[in-house]
Amino acid sequence: MDSNEREGAAPGPRPAGIAGLPGPYRVVAALALGAVSVAACWHLAMVFLHVAPSNTVTKRHGATVDAWVYPEFEQNWKLFAPNPLQQNIAVEVRAQIRTEAGERLTTDWRDLSAEDARRIRHQLLPSHTAQNELRRAWDFYTSSHDEDEKPQGERGALSEAYLQRIAVARLAGTYGAGELLRVQLRSVTRAVAAPRWSTETTDTAPSYRELPWWTV
């Protein structure tokens, strides 16, 4: 084969990836990858030191760790739920109404939590209200009241008003032409039963927490 034939031969396949780039571009790509790797390792180290128990490094360089983590990368142990909720808590309501004839009636208990669950089930995009409104309102109430249902500060009174508004809104239009006089809420707490393969015994009997009647 003469030289002309060798010069006209098709070039071989170009290497894949960075190796296939021209020399200057390979250098730039290598430097970029190195910078990204260093930044990723630094970030993981800072987050690890932030969530790790107190140690010599965090005592000496805690300000540096906090400056990197806060506020965008804050971490806490709530992500891992060391004490996950093992109870089902349902919120129920009943009402006292005055009928058109002037008679006072007390309705049966109505499970508001079950109604929210039905609105969420099989929904790809359930509403934020159905998921969280009642649940967060009940948590707000219980965290701002003592065991005797006495409010602790202004937040306690606010939580009562908020919970009452939710109850009245849920009951609206469900008692016909009668007049809504008072509402009462309660929680029904049941422990989640142990799985069949477990030897643990769980008392699943419901416990109740009844709130006082609130005048509308």
Residue 1, domain member (yes or no):
no
pLDDT at 76: 60
- The secondary element (H helix, E strand) that includes residue 97 is strand 87-98
Question: What percentage of the chain exceeds 90 in pLDDT?
Answer: 46
pLDDT at 50: 85
Residue 22: is the preceding peptide bond cis (ω within 30°)? no
Residues 70 and 99 in one domain: no
CB-side exposure of 83: number of CA atoms within 13 Å?
A: 0
pLDDT of residue 180: 92
pLDDT at residue 101 in the model: 86
Pairing between strand 179-191 and 87-98? antiparallel
Residue 46 maps to a domain: yes
- Identify whether residues 111 and 74 lie together within a single domain: no
- Within this chain, do residues 121 and 171 fall inside the same structural domain, yes or no? yes
Q: Is the pLDDT reported for residue 134 higher than 70?
A: yes
Percent of the chain with pLDDT over 70: 85
pLDDT at position 38: 94
Domain limits for position 56: 12-80
pLDDT attached to residue 77: 58
Say how many domains are in the chain.
2
Contact present, 98 and 181 (Cβ < 8 Å)? yes
Residue 3 lies in a domain: no
Q: Of 111, 72, 59, 67, which Cα lies nearest the Cα of 89? A: 111
Higher pLDDT, 77 or 58: 58
Q: With 90 as the cut, is the pLDDT of residue 213 above it? A: yes
Structural tokens at position 46: 């800072």
Give the domain-ending residue among 80, 97, 125.
Answer: 80
Confidence at residue 212, expressed as pLDDT on a 0 to 100 scale:
95
Q: Which of 28, 55, 80 is the last residue of a domain?
A: 80
Distance in angstroms (rounded) separating the CA atoms of residues 87 and 134? 16
**Residue 134 maps to a domain:** yes
Measure the CA–CA gap between 164 and 162, rounded to whole angstroms: 5
Q: Does 126 share its domain with 190?
A: yes
**Do 101 and 179 fall into the same domain?**
yes
Q: Are residues 102 and 38 in the same domain?
A: no
Decide if 176 is inside a domain. Answer: yes
In this prediction, residue 57 has a pLDDT band, given cuts at 50, 70 and 90, of: confident
112-116 mean pLDDT: 95
Whether 131 and 205 map to the same domain: the answer is: yes
Residues in the chain: 216
Do 100 and 197 lie in one domain? The reply is yes
Domain shared by 47 and 144, yes or no? no
Whether the Cβ atoms of residue 160 and residue 141 lie closer than 8 Å to each other: yes
Q: Nearest-CA neighbor of 172 among 104, 101, 112?
A: 112
Q: Among the listed ranges 22-31, 70-79, 156-165, which one has the minimum average pLDDT value?
A: 70-79
The answer to the question of residue 51 being in a domain is yes
Between 4 and 182, whose confidence is greater? 182
In a domain, 124, yes or no: yes
Residues 16 and 101 in one domain: no
User: Are 35 and 51 contained in the same domain?
Assistant: yes
Mean pLDDT over each residue of the chain, to the nearest integer:
85
Residue 20: pLDDT band with limits 50, 70, 90: low
Give dist(CA 121, CA 194) in Å, integer: 23
At 81-105, the pLDDT tens digits run 555 668 899 999 999 999 888 899 9
54, part of any domain: yes
In this structure, what DSSP letter does residue 131 have?
I
Token pair recorded at residue 29: 């790509």
Rounded CA gap, 189 and 191, in Å? 7
Residue where a domain terminates, one of 30, 62, 80: 80
Shared domain check, 61 and 18: yes
List the single range of 7-21, 30-44, 91-105, 148-162 with lowest mean pLDDT.
7-21
